[in-house]
Amino acid sequence: MGDVLAIVSQKGGVGKTTTAVNLAAAFARRGLKTLIVDVDPQGSVRYGVGLRRDHGHAGFADYLNGQKPLHEVILPTALPWLRVILAGSVTHEADYATYQQLIAETDLLPEVLAIARARCHVVVVDSPPGMGPITRRVLEASQHAIIPLQCEPLALQTTPQMLRGIRDVVETNKELVLDGILMTMFEPDNPASQRVVDYVRRHLPANIVFDIVIPRTAATCDAFAAGQPVVLRNPADSASQAYINLATKLSGRFL
């Protein structure tokens, strides 16, 4: 039986999808059967996970509304041990309302994650920003959670909301563990970026903050633009090494 790892954040643009994609790829590189599930309607996972050229665009939304069976929305990637379920067809406001309702009011999401746990070592879920009904449902079905925190001052203001949300979910899901806050997009030459790191280290408990920090690198942007995880496209890059080291640390907790 594997574990579900939810990647959650209060705001977008903090490296959430980049973290989900690269951790999933790093797990798969270690030989772990890994599935990444994109439940964020923005659907950004498809741009960076290393899908084969002939893949379709159907995904979780198409399974939820009954248009596709589950096996047809599980897609292969360039890595033998990595599969992906894309977000699927959530293109209009009406689509989003239906999508959110189906996740919030049915057991389809936890059922899919339970099936995936039975067949995989790790299931990584890219959740939408904020503690809305979709993210809450993901956390209710997860065993682990990571909060990416961009190394810029505004991001500090939103982190307490996500921490409170996770504490609330733990009241009903005793399996859920916050593995840590992961500082991302760190710029060593930017004083503001360094101040955020220093503040987090001083004011948050050490046991909920990873010692690993993800730097902002050109290679990460280039890899996403090329449709690949940076851990595959440029393994020697400092961001790649950070994600690989984090996957190694987490693997010891999961297995």
Contact 16, 148 (CB under 8 A): yes
Count up the domains in the chain and report the number: 1
Higher pLDDT, 242 or 253: 242
Alpha-carbon distance of 211 to 205, in angstroms, equals 12
At residue 124, φ and ψ (nearest 5 deg) are: -100, 125
pLDDT of residue 219: 98
pTM value is 0.96
Cα–Cα distances (Å) from 212 to 31, 39, 49, 82, in that order, read 22, 26, 22, 24
Contact 116, 35 (CB under 8 A): yes
pLDDT per residue as tens digits for the range 114-153: 999 999 999 999 999 999 999 999 999 999 999 999 999 8
At residue 166, φ and ψ (nearest 5 deg) are: -65, -40
Cα–Cα distances (Å) from 28 to 60, 147, 255, in that order, read 21, 21, 14
pLDDT per residue as tens digits for the range 27-83: 999 999 999 999 999 999 999 998 866 667 789 999 999 999 999 999 999 899 999
Tokens of residue 87, six digits? 């977000």
pLDDT per residue as tens digits for the range 170-198: 999 999 999 999 999 999 999 999 999 99
CB atoms within 10 A of CB 49: 30
pLDDT of residue 55: 67
CB atoms within 10 A of CB 216: 18
- CATH code of 236's domain: 3.40.50.300
pLDDT per residue as tens digits for the range 194-238: 999 999 999 999 999 999 999 999 999 999 999 999 999 999 999
Quote the domain boundaries for residue 128: 3-254
Radius of gyration of the chain (CA): 17
pLDDT per residue as tens digits for the range 152-172: 988 888 889 999 999 999 999
Alpha-carbon distance of 119 to 32, in angstroms, equals 11
DSSP-derived 3-state class of residue 38: strand
pLDDT of residue 52: 64
